[in-house]
Amino acid sequence: MVEATAELMRMRIDKWLWCARFFKSRAQAGEAVAGGKVHVNGERVKPAHPIKTGDRLEITQAALVRELLVVTLAARRGPAAEAARCYEETAASSERRAHFKEQHALAAAFAPRPRARPDKRQRRRLMKLRRQE
């Protein structure tokens, strides 16, 4: 029983990111950590770096930086509701994420869209134009 509690006091960062559902696979989480997209307490770390409750994480996904506080270490990868209890997002980070979502929606609203899909002739013309550029 002592080993089980000691095991849950620390966890690899790549495994925690996967269990907390920030990445679809543990390999993707490891690549992000190794690539410098994840910082623990302001420092760049390796995928095997152990984290504990109370650590502050900065995760960069696409153009968005999320700041989190580790609340618990998950024993397994469970449902999204269970994963959301593993961390708390800072107020500044949630504001940035909401602003980013709003900007993304505005950009999509003003993007030119065709009324219908191009037919075969129009597709060939588009491909010909793209080859010329």
Parent domain of 8: 2-112
For residue 111, count other CB atoms closer than 10 A to its CB: 7
Whether the pLDDT of residue 3 is over 90: the answer is no
With respect to residue 15, please indicate whether it lies within any of the assigned structural domains: yes
Q: What is the mean pLDDT of the chain?
A: 90
Starting at the edge strand that comes first in sequence, how are the strands of the sheet with 38-40 ordered?
43-44, 38-40, 56-61, 64-70, 87-89
Chain segment 20-68, per-residue pLDDT in tens: 999 999 999 999 999 999 999 999 999 999 999 999 999 999 889 999 9
Q: Please, how many CA atoms are within 13 Å of residue 114, restricted to the half-sphere of its CB?
A: 6
With respect to residue 10, please indicate whether it lies within any of the assigned structural domains: yes
Paired tokens of 3: 């080993």
How many domains in the chain? 1
With respect to residue 117, please indicate whether it lies within any of the assigned structural domains: no
Whether the pLDDT of residue 133 is over 70: the answer is no
Global pTM value = 0.77
CATH number at residue 52: 3.10.290.10
With respect to residue 120, please indicate whether it lies within any of the assigned structural domains: no
Distance between CA atoms of residues 69 and 95, nearest Å: 16
With respect to residue 126, please indicate whether it lies within any of the assigned structural domains: no
With respect to residue 123, please indicate whether it lies within any of the assigned structural domains: no
With respect to residue 47, please indicate whether it lies within any of the assigned structural domains: yes
Chain segment 97-126, per-residue pLDDT in tens: 999 999 999 988 888 888 899 999 999 999
Given the structure tokens 């037919």, which residue do they identify? 119
Binning pLDDT at 50, 70 and 90, where does residue 7 land?
low
With respect to residue 133, please indicate whether it lies within any of the assigned structural domains: no
- Give residue 132's pLDDT: 83
